[in-house]
Structure 1
Amino acid sequence: MLQYYAKEFFAPIIVSPELSADGTKISIYIVVDGTPDTKKADLTLNIYNWSSADWNPVKVYTNNQTKLEENKSFIAYQVTVADALSGSGRKEDFFLTTTLEVANKPIAPENFLFFTYVRYSGYPETSVKISGITLVDNQTAEITLVADRFALFVWLDLNELKGTFSKNGFHMLKPTTKVTFRSKFPVDLRALQKITVTWLKKNYS
């Protein structure tokens, strides 16, 4: 899983949400390594409830035209936990994501903040399945995954196939997602049926 995360935490720009030691304040840091291609970007903070049935955030904060400072780590946004949740329930029932975009295109990896250990949170019982595999060419395929609730650390296993995925060990925050599989060798649909999926189960979190 580490090899998939490495390309994200070594990205030239990352967004890092942090919960204060006393658990009362959320600080959103932006870390810029080098000179960014753009001077400003749109920062979004999405608050989700684990039990949400419609997959939509319960609250969204935006900080449009956030200034990006070269070779610097800085606080771009702060909000109290009380304001973020607005009395909606226990903080253990929520989690948040951050995005940084220019013209609706991401310039930094999406990041996450859980208000407590997952085992003590409202993380739901969920199920993830491979609903379809489509050949793009004889070395590339598109895999469609479906989930019935939020799912963490979704992992596709090659099971002796040779190749890589466009992403892996990811969180599903939508009912469907697509992953691209690439191989240096010819593959067919029968061989691709070896791919299996797993995810973090509630009783193992």
Structure 2
Amino acid sequence: TDCWNWTTFPKTRFASEYGFQSWPSFHTLKNASKEDDWTLDSDFNAHRQHHGDGNAQMMDQVMLHFPLPTGGDPLQQYKDFIYMSQIAQAMCIKTESEFYRRSRSEIVNGVGHTMGALYWQLNDIWQGPTWSSLEYGGRWKMLHYYAAKFFAPFMTVIFEDKEQLKVYAVSDLAIKQNQVTLQLQLWMWSSFTPLQTWTVTFDMDANSAMMVFNKTTAQLLKSGGCPAREACYFTSAANLNKTRLFGPVNAHFLTSFQSAKGLTKAKITVTNVTILPDASKAKAATTLLLELKTTAPAPFVWLDAGDVEGRFSDNGFLMNVETMTLEFYARASVAVAMFQKEVTVQSLMD
């Protein structure tokens, strides 16, 4: 079963437990293993997996959407599979959670009004493959970054329902929001410029979900001049006063990445790192501002701070602009030179 497919999930009043496994980062694993363990078929990998057929299930989900890592370096293949297992977990739980959130205000065939969702699980008790979004030691998996978005107080959910592309607005806010503008954009994988933008302005009731866009996907692709479904994708966002971003930007991929056209290997670099003042910790360099540049659009951009403990303001994201800024929140004071030495960036086409 493809857990990126929302139609596989039940309409329920409350989703009390759902999840999917991933491996923790190599940084976390290496502290509990040795070099001989760093292959997919090692005894260590089998011993640490306590879910029957769990490693095969992760591999199956990865294979549905991505080409498997290849090459002569077993360690790099191992690291690449860790990365893709975290993508699969994040996308599976994102898809299911968004389905539950947009179902809160509707009943279909007598079921619906989903009023809560709890994914399994938050944190970890050891270094191994589990359902957690936080690794042993507190590092954020890709899922935890995604959870901050799919559980945002206000968000848009974009998906396909048979031939239709639909966008829902979802609000957990206690007050009505007036004059919210949906911005739906069609992009090509080979370009930093959207092919077309559609906007819809609406009022959003408190504590509710509603459909704000519904058009045939094929008509939208034709209208925007998309040469092939495999070459394009959509993004959705909500704005207040037509300018201020209101909640996270969401994306809908039209095909598996095995068949995507126009995606090329992007060179993504951290071009500048500066220290931001931390008012709560005098003279402590715990917040860093990063500038990223890319030569091509890149899905699932992942930054790793190496031996520097902390988290980024965003991670695992779609980078469809040439330059962007992020923040890194270190657990302890860190020198810029030390951080620059440790930080690495990868994306799907690497």
> Is TM (by shorter chain) over 0.5?
yes
| Count of residues paired in the alignment | 197
Give the structure 2 partner of residue 43 of structure 1: 182
Give the structure 1 partner of residue 40 of structure 2: none
Whether the 8 Å CA contact 1:156–1:168 is kept in 2: the answer is yes
Cα pair distance change 1:25/1:158, threshold 3 Å: same
Whether the 8 Å CA contact 2:270–2:292 is kept in 1: the answer is yes
Cα RMSD, aligned residues only: 1.6
Give the structure 1 partner of residue 269 of structure 2: 129
**Greater CA drift, 98-107 or 135-144:** 135-144
Structure 1 outlier segments of 4+, above 6 Å: none
Give the structure 2 partner of residue 59 of structure 1: 196
The one-letter code of the counterpart of 2:269 is K
SS in 2 for 1:119: coil
Q: 2:193 & 2:300 partners in 1: Cα distance?
A: 19
Between Structure 1 and Structure 2, the one with more strand by share is 1
Q: 2:335 & 2:194 partners in 1: Cα distance?
A: 39
Whether the 8 Å CA contact 2:176–2:205 is kept in 1: the answer is no
Give the structure 1 partner of residue 299 of structure 2: 152
Please, which of 145, 161, 177 is the counterpart of residue 4 of structure 1? 145
Q: 2:171 & 2:336 partners in 1: Cα distance?
A: 42
SS in 2 for 1:4: helix
**Greater CA drift, 151-160 or 133-142:** 133-142
Select the structure with the greater relative contact order (CA < 8 A; seq sep ≥ 6).
Answer: 1
In the TM superposition, what whole-angstrom CA distance separates every residue of 1:117-140 from its partner, at most 9, and x where no partner exists?
122112333221111212224222
TM-score by length of 2: 0.54
Q: 1:134 & 1:89 partners in 2: Cα distance?
A: 41
SS in 1 for 2:258: helix
Cα pair distance change 1:88/1:191, threshold 3 Å: closer
Gaps of 5+ in 1: none
Q: 2:345 & 2:153 partners in 1: Cα distance?
A: 30
Q: 1:45 & 1:105 partners in 2: Cα distance?
A: 15
Between Structure 1 and Structure 2, the one with more helix by share is 2
Q: 1:120 & 1:156 partners in 2: Cα distance?
A: 25
Whether the 8 Å CA contact 2:296–2:322 is kept in 1: the answer is yes
Gaps of 5+ in 2: 1-141, 278-284
Q: Max radius of gyration: which structure? A: 2
The one-letter code of the counterpart of 1:129 is T
Where do residues 124-203 of structure 1 align in structure 2 (5 Å cutoff)?
Answer: 124-137=264-277, 138-193=285-340, 194-201=342-349
The one-letter code of the counterpart of 1:80 is T
Give the structure 1 partner of residue 256 of structure 2: 117
1:89 aligns with 2:217: no
1:14 aligns with 2:155: yes
| Seq. identity, % | 27
